Structures are given as structure tokens and as C-alpha cells.
Structure 1
Amino acid sequence: MSTLFYPFSILMNLLFSVPEIQAEPSKPNVILIFADDLAYGDLGSYGAKDWETPNLDQLATDGVRFTQFYVPHAVCTASRAALLTGAYANRLELYGALDHTATHGLNPEEITIAEMLKANGYQTGIVGKWHLGHQPEFLPTQQGFDSYFGLPYSNDMWPNHPESKNYYPPLPLIEGEKTIAYLEDQQELTSWYTYKSLEFIEKNQEKPFFLYLAHNMPHVPLYVSEKFKGKSEQGMYGDVMMEIDWSVGEIRKKLKELGLEENTLIIFTSDNGPWLSYGGHAGSKGNLREGKGTSWEGGIRVPAIFIWPGKIPAGIIQDQAAMTIDVLPTLAKVTGSQLPQLKIDGSDIWPLVMGEKADLKPYFAYYNRNELQAVIYGKWKLVFPHTYRTIPPGTDVRNDGIPVKYLNVQLEKASLFDLSKDPGETTDVSAQNPGVLAQLNGFANQARADMGDALTGKEGTGNRKAGRIGPSN
């Protein structure tokens, strides 16, 4: 378009598009807060006793709190890939936790929440942990985010790692695509992330925005700013939780100050359960079994709160199961955005968010790497024979940030649990429920045919490739 006609075209657009703009409903802002290793029992509204989380508890009071909300993979990279794409991470060839040696990451062909919303006119920003590839080809700015401030992977991947000293290089803090510092301590990290989030909200208050705030805490090593040291009865972990709670409160205050509260959907959840080998430097799994890195409930069940004042009814407790892969299709629905053309695994759970019951996907699959370790259908969970890690009985777990050693244990036979009566997965009820057992085995066979299963030697037909640097990428 020539310079001569540019001002005139702008004027004509303004004159003739006003009625359309007025008629179009306002797109909601979206803030997705994703904590790291925050356990099911870490919020007051979920039973926390040794620290206070008043802002997060108010979030639950003002919105909907899920009691059976899951991640499909109980570890960093895989969990984040599933959240942002709506697809199981093993489908995307992303397993475990990528470190500084990785030459692969989330394939740029995959569509993230940020890309989906950006195509619908949203400003998009990530503050915090990425962990889907630290190479330039895989950074957030290549996956739909307009801005990025944070760490490219876990905060323990640095020279001070308690079990791998000097294996990792200095920990980079990145802004955009440039390393702006190497961290020697992390006590201001949560504060930095909070202030950067407030800055993003302020800057984009006139447009619909998507903010992905991915806190590195409470993943070890734990760090907290001076103003929160000694705040809790529990110690460092409780102090960290109280600072995360403060962060949520600051964000809500900013939204209210700018008049954005009633046009903003906030989602708060976690990437997996607690890293139990760290004892007092890990969270509380409550009455659930095991923790991070396992497909038992303590590893995969996490807190989840959705709030949108004036839209989501307040004070709802939702006990129907849902999963982080459901976030993308749900956001597509509420923002009027186009779903990715590539296959996703999540469902639109907006009816659940509104306090209703709905007939959604038939089952959830739980993979550790490419091992199908469990499936859930309603209140039923079938766990397949596999090796998992646990804390040996009688182990003296400490509160000093030094981990104890796990013990690998073999589950010898498939076990069926009624989670409505037995969330701690203590009693196998396979013999009493042969029909349910057969049904869940059928669901498992569907998952194996689609995505494979290393435990049974099945190769799936529906998997895609991760992105890789080099000539083959």
C-alpha cells in the first residue's frame, strides 16, 4: 500500500468498522499460572497446614476448584509440552526433562496455546520456565510468544546441583532470545517474574492478552526473597509457597486496578506432584500415593483453579476428572480461536469449569517416557505392571535440600483402584470388578495402538517427531 493512500485508508477503516467493533464481544484476557513441583496438598484450599496461601484460597473461593485434575506425565518437559499443545507429550516425542545437552525440543510445526491465540489477535508473553528446548530454534519466540523473560530449563540445572556438581554450566536468564545474565542465586526469581508479569499486563491492557507465568518455584533448589524468609512454620518450602501466593495476589490487584478483572480468565495449576526425595524441601501429597516421576496419584494429580469473575460461578468444587491437555481446547472455545489442525488429545472442559457434568473423553492415559503405566476412566484407575521409584521405608528424609536415594520397586500385576473410595491406591479391586477391568484394558489397547507402549512392545501409528537441530530438522 502506498504512503499517499495510507492515512485515507485508516480513516475509512475507522469510519466503517465502528459498528462491527461495538457488536463484537470482547475477547477475554487469559493468565495461565503454572507452578513447578507444587503438590496436591500445597494450598490451604487443598489441605495445607504449615503455611498460609490466602490469595490462592480466595482464588478457589471466587472460582472453580478441581479435586481430580491431572497431568499426563509427572515430569517437567513432558508435562509442559502437553499443557501448551493439548497433546500427550509422548505423541510429540518429548520425554522426561531436557537439559543443556539436548539438541531437540518442541517441533516448530506444533501449535501452542500462544500461537493459537496470537492468530486470534492476542498479545502473548511468557514469564518463567520454558523447558521445551533451549536452542534458538525452540525458544518461546519461535512458538507464538511475543515476549519471553525467564529460564530455559529447570532451576536445578546449574553448577550447584547437589548430586551433579559442575556438570551443568551457569544458569542463563533469557529475555527475548538473548541471555542477559547468569544466575549465582535465585532469591529474587519469584519477585522478578511477578514484576515482569505486572509490566506485561500494564503494557497490553488495551488489547486481549495471553500471559503464561511459569514459576520455577517450588522446584528445588528453593530460594525466597528476604521479605518472605521465615514467614511460615514449615521452613523454606512454606516460605516459597507464601511468596508464590503473594505473586498471585499482586496479579489480581493489578487486574482490579486496571479494570480488567471481569474480562480475565485466570488458571492456576502445577506441572506434577512433589519431589519426595527432598523431604522438607518438597510439597505435600496429602493422602495420595508417591510423587513426581510416577504415575501414582501423588505424581499426576495436581491442584487446579479457574476463575473469571462474572462468568464462572464462585465457590464451585468440581470432582469430575480433567487434565492439562484440556486447557488448549477450552481456551479455543472461550476465546473463539481456531483449534490446531494437528491431532490433539484434550477436550473442551468449559461445562466442567461452569460447574456442570459432561460426557467428554472416555479415558485418560498416563505415560512415563513411552511406557503406558495407567489409564483412568471416571472413578476407576488401572495401573499396569511397571518399575517405579519410592522412598524406602524408614528413610530419614531431611529439611536441608539434600535428597535421599530412591528405591526402584516393581509392580508385579495390574491393579484396579476405585479412586472415589481409595485415592491413596491401597486396595486392588480387580477381582470384584471384572467388567470394569476389561473396559479399561480396552482403553489401554486403544492408547497403545495410537501412541505405542514400551512395556508391551507396541508401536503406535499416531506419533509425531520432536524438532531437532541440524540438517535433518
Structure 2
Amino acid sequence: MKRIFINTWMLLVLGMGGVWRATAQQANSEQQPNFILIFTDDQGYGDLGTYGNPTIRTPHIDQLAAEGQKWTNFYVAANVCTPSRAGLLTGRLPIRSGMQGEKRRVLFPDSKGGLPLSEQTIARVLKQKKYRTGIVGKWHLGSRPEFLPTKHGFDYYYGIPYSNDMDRVDSVPYQQAITQPKNEYFQVPLLRNEEIIERPAIQNTLTERYTKEAIGFITKNKGEPFFLYLAHSMPHVPLFANEKFKGKSARGIYGDVIEEIDWSVGQIIETLKKQGLDKNTYVVFVTDNGPWKIFKELGGSSGPLYGAKGNSYEGGVRVPAIFWGPGQVRPGQVTAIGSTLDILSTFAALAGVDLPQDRVYDGYNLSNVLRDSHAKGPRDEMFYYHASQLVAVRKGPFKLLLYGNSEWAYPDKLVRLDAPKLFNLNEDISESNDIAAQYPDVVQALQNLAEEHRRGIKPVVSQLDLL
């Protein structure tokens, strides 16, 4: 009798435990996830320890990759800053929104254009589910009041409106200002929402202050779903090192700057854990384009890739990308093709938001790969643009290059190749072996794909060329 009572009691307890687990799982599934997108400027594919750099110490980012997913075939929407950021936030190739230019490759302080208000940013999309949205760092999608982040779905903005080498004092030669930088050489403003709170921005402490602002945003909004876009101003030149990190890296000042960004990542993750948010937050670390190699030791490394910022070789557009989310992102190295164009669709799917169907998107939902690092990714092709010119196309492992320029690139002229070049990127990551003559059928198929894509592009006014 006693045994029957004990067994019955155990079944009851186990049953109640099962009900509790089911209820907890249901509650967790109904809880909106948080999103943190960390975006660096001009950081190369080879500038992190986890991607093979032998001298720059990035333990926090390396740990992020070890606990999450490290993507090795991840691309940006464009090979320079403004169009790359437009593609990231809208999930659309920049040419669809006019965020590409022939006269100017990026926006400048005197530019009259900016990201059109008709575009749907990640922030605006997530607002449909009542997300709190904030950007800390560099914007570079229009500095006029009508184009600032607060007009594009962000509740809060703290940062600089364009690149940190702009608003240079005319009396100081550019080369001197870059190689021997002083804060007073660049009259870049620091904004809070729409108000200038500091000019010139004291750049030595920007990374530290960005980090504090980001932590403040997380802490303030921990009780509701949030999206934080942390867009670091560096390692774009001029390089300003914080005194706490100056001279600490074997890689010189460039390494000092990267190692402070790594510290910043560590602070963000520590905050999530302290606030009990780590199990319900996706963190993505990615950069905006390849390294600016013309500045030599002041620029970064594209590692095994050929090319740099401003061209459409792999070194200009393939970037480090890490997805982290304990219990949500299955750890592993992902070799599937992905892009910053996919982040909008992925975040929307994870948040349960339907994207507006009145426009063409160039992104894919990567959530199935986040759940299983070995899953087949939805993206099998990539279109490479230089301003409004389609210069290359990739499908599977094959990349067809139609135009070329110098390895060190930006600023540099684009040259149409006499004959297209074909590379198998799975076997030739550095694009050193042209196999077009061996695979004429693949060349033709990719040319057809490029032509089909061009027919789907509708011309719009270039926002970058509005002066």
C-alpha cells in the first residue's frame, strides 16, 4: 500500500513537473527576443583572432564565436560605408533605394540626400511589435534633420552622423590629419537624438562612451523587448586610441583600437548576463566592408582574401560575422552563404513580424541555420555592386567577375574586363586561379543570372549624388 502511494505521489510530481516545463517553454516561446547588432567600420576579414590574426588579441569576440556561430562566407551589401549600411538596415540592395552614387560613393556633411523615409529599417519593422530601438555610434545615412535615426524608427540616438575623418579643418592636409591625428583636426559633431552635444567629438574616448551608452540602453529597457544597433566609428581612420589601450597591442595603434572594441563586446555580454538577458538576446557582430589598405599599417587585413575596401574582390565585401544566442543559436562554423542583407528578414522572423509586401527584398531568413549550424542556408547567390554597376555575381561556389580594379582599391576607378573571370571560391578563396576557359557553361549560366537580375532593377534617384 505504501509503495502504491509513493508511486502515485511520484507520478503526480513528475506530471506537475512536466506541466511546469511545458508552461515555462510556452512562456519563453512567447517572450520577444532582444537583438543587439554590433557593427564596426573598415575592419577586415583577417583582423580577429578567431579569423586567424596572429597579433591582435580579441578574447571576448573569439569567445562569442566559440559559443555561437562563426560565418566564413558572409557578405556586405556594398564595398563602402553608406551603401553598406543602407543595405544592412533595409534588407535591400542600395541601388533599389538610391543609396549609391557615381559622383560620390558615400554621403558627406554637405550632402542633401539620405536614406529615403519610405524605406523600412530594422528599427521601424520591429516597432510593429513595440520594440524599444536605439542606435549608438556612427549613422552615415544622412546628416540633415529629416534623415537622422530618429526619423527612421529609432527611439534613441547617440553618436556621430558620418565618418570620423569628415569635417576636416581645411588648414590641415589630409595625410597629416590621418597619420598624426588630433581631435581638433576634425569638427565631427556628437549628437544625442537630434541635438549636438559636443563638437569636435573627442574621439579617443568614443568607443568607451559608446559602450557606456549601450549598457545604459540595455539596462533601461531590460523589461521590454529591445533592438540596439551599436555602430562603432573605428577602425576607420583616423585612429584614436584610448589611453587605457594605447600601446598595448603588438599590431600598433590599429590593434589598440580593435582590442578596445573587443573589450566593449565583453562589457555588453557581461551586462546581458548580469541582467539575466543573455538567454533571450541575439547578438550579431559584423563589419561594414573590407579594410582600407591604402593606409598600410593604419588599415586592416583581409587575411587570405584578395582585395580591400572599395572593390568587389572578396577582400572588399566578405567580412567576419558572428551570431550568438545561448540556447537559441547552435554553435559551429557556418560555411553557408550569408549577408547583412539577411539580417532584417532574420530578425523579423525571430520577432514574429511580417515584412511589408510592397517592395522587393534582397535578404533571406537565416533562422533555420541559426538553429542548426549544419543546415543548408537559403541563400545560394550574391550580387556584387560598385555604385550602380553590377560587377560580379556568385552562385554556389562560383563567382563571375565582370569588372576589376586595384587590390588596394578605394578610391580607384573601375575597369571592365576584356573577358569575364571565373573563380571557384570553395577551392580558391584568394581568387588567384581564373577557370573561365575550363567552365564555359558556368560562365554563361552566371552571365544569364546577372542579366536576369539587372532586368529586375528599377532606376531611382541617387541620394548620394544630390548636391
Using the size of structure 2 for normalisation, the TM-score is: 0.87
Q: CA deviation at 1:432?
A: 1.2
Cα distance in structure 1, aligned partners of 2:201 and 2:99 = 29
Quickly say closer, same or farther: Cα 1:468–1:62, change in 2 above 3 A: closer
Q: Deviations over 1:183-240 (max 9, x none)?
A: 2641001001000000000100000000000001110001121000011111000000
* Alignment correspondent of 1:340: 356
Helix, strand or coil at the partner of 1:125: strand
* Alignment correspondent of 2:56: 51
2:146 to 132, 137, 146: 137
**Aligned partners of 1:108 and 1:467 also within 8 Å:** no
* Alignment correspondent of 1:330: 346
Instruction: Say whether 1:365 aligns with 2:383.
Output: yes
Instruction: Say whether 1:274 aligns with 2:280.
Output: no
Helix, strand or coil at the partner of 2:369: helix
How do 1:148-227 and structure 2 match up within 5 A?
148-159=157-168, 162-163=173-174, 170-183=187-200, 185-227=202-244
Instruction: Say whether 1:72 aligns with 2:88.
Output: no
* Alignment correspondent of 1:423: 429
Quickly say closer, same or farther: Cα 1:128–1:319, change in 2 above 3 A: same
Quickly say closer, same or farther: Cα 1:444–1:255, change in 2 above 3 A: same
Instruction: Say whether 1:288 aligns with 2:297.
Output: no
Q: CA deviation at 1:377?
A: 0.7
Helix, strand or coil at the partner of 2:203: coil
Cα distance in structure 1, aligned partners of 2:385 and 2:413 = 20
Quickly say closer, same or farther: Cα 1:349–1:297, change in 2 above 3 A: same
Q: Deviations over 1:256-302 (max 9, x none)?
A: 01110101000000000000000011111112111000000000000
Cα distance in structure 1, aligned partners of 2:186 and 2:255 = 29
How do 1:248-263 and structure 2 match up within 5 A?
248-263=265-280
1:375 to 370, 375, 393: 393
Cα distance in structure 2, aligned partners of 1:272 and 1:23 = 36
How do 1:389-428 and structure 2 match up within 5 A?
389-391=406-408, 411-428=417-434
Quickly say closer, same or farther: Cα 1:431–1:260, change in 2 above 3 A: same
**Aligned partners of 1:114 and 1:145 also within 8 Å:** yes
Gaps of 5+ in 2: 1-23, 178-184
Cα distance in structure 2, aligned partners of 1:427 and 1:264 = 42
Question: Which amino acid is the alignment partner of residue 128 of structure 2?
Answer: A
**Aligned partners of 1:130 and 1:150 also within 8 Å:** yes
Question: Which amino acid is the alignment partner of residue 187 of structure 2?
Answer: P
Quickly say closer, same or farther: Cα 1:409–1:75, change in 2 above 3 A: same
2:129 to 91, 110, 120: 120
* Alignment correspondent of 1:63: 68
Quickly say closer, same or farther: Cα 1:406–1:365, change in 2 above 3 A: closer
Cα distance in structure 2, aligned partners of 1:25 and 1:122 = 14
Quickly say closer, same or farther: Cα 1:259–1:325, change in 2 above 3 A: same
Cα distance in structure 2, aligned partners of 1:358 and 1:125 = 32
Helix, strand or coil at the partner of 1:104: coil
Gaps of 5+ in 1: 1-18, 393-402, 452-460
**Aligned partners of 2:134 and 2:217 also within 8 Å:** yes
**Aligned partners of 1:137 and 1:469 also within 8 Å:** no
Cα distance in structure 2, aligned partners of 1:162 and 1:297 = 32
Cα distance in structure 1, aligned partners of 2:323 and 2:441 = 35
How do 1:296-315 and structure 2 match up within 5 A?
296-314=313-331
Structure number with the higher helix fraction is 2
Q: Percent identity?
A: 44
**Aligned partners of 1:106 and 1:466 also within 8 Å:** no
* Alignment correspondent of 1:16: none
**Aligned partners of 1:71 and 1:271 also within 8 Å:** yes
Q: CA deviation at 1:358?
A: 2.7
Helix, strand or coil at the partner of 1:431: coil
**Aligned partners of 1:325 and 1:345 also within 8 Å:** yes
* Alignment correspondent of 1:3: none
Q: CA deviation at 1:350?
A: 1.4
Using the size of structure 1 for normalisation, the TM-score is: 0.86
Quickly say closer, same or farther: Cα 1:165–1:172, change in 2 above 3 A: farther
Q: CA deviation at 1:464?
A: 4.3
Q: CA deviation at 1:76?
A: 0.4
**Aligned partners of 1:108 and 1:143 also within 8 Å:** yes
Q: How many residues align?
A: 427
Question: Which amino acid is the alignment partner of residue 357 of structure 1?
Answer: A
**Aligned partners of 1:390 and 1:407 also within 8 Å:** no
* Alignment correspondent of 1:456: none
Q: CA deviation at 1:437?
A: 1.2
Q: CA deviation at 1:391?
A: 4.4
Q: CA deviation at 1:353?
A: 2.3
Helix, strand or coil at the partner of 2:79: coil
Cα distance in structure 1, aligned partners of 2:54 and 2:136 = 29
1:90 to 91, 95, 104: 95
Alignment RMSD: 2.4
1:147 to 156, 162, 174: 156
Q: CA deviation at 1:169?
A: 7.2
Q: Deviations over 1:406-465 (max 9, x none)?
A: 6876643210000011111011111111221121111100121122xxxxxxxxx3x445
Quickly say closer, same or farther: Cα 1:420–1:28, change in 2 above 3 A: same
**Aligned partners of 2:422 and 2:436 also within 8 Å:** yes
Q: Deviations over 1:33-85 (max 9, x none)?
A: 01000100111110011110000000000001000100121100000000000
Cα distance in structure 2, aligned partners of 1:206 and 1:443 = 47
Question: Which amino acid is the alignment partner of residue 340 of structure 1?
Answer: P
Question: Which amino acid is the alignment partner of residue 147 of structure 1?
Answer: Y
* Alignment correspondent of 1:317: 333
**Aligned partners of 1:105 and 1:133 also within 8 Å:** yes
Q: CA deviation at 1:91?
A: 1.2
Cα distance in structure 2, aligned partners of 1:203 and 1:191 = 18
* Alignment correspondent of 2:11: none
**Aligned partners of 1:63 and 1:306 also within 8 Å:** yes
Q: CA deviation at 1:364?
A: 1.2
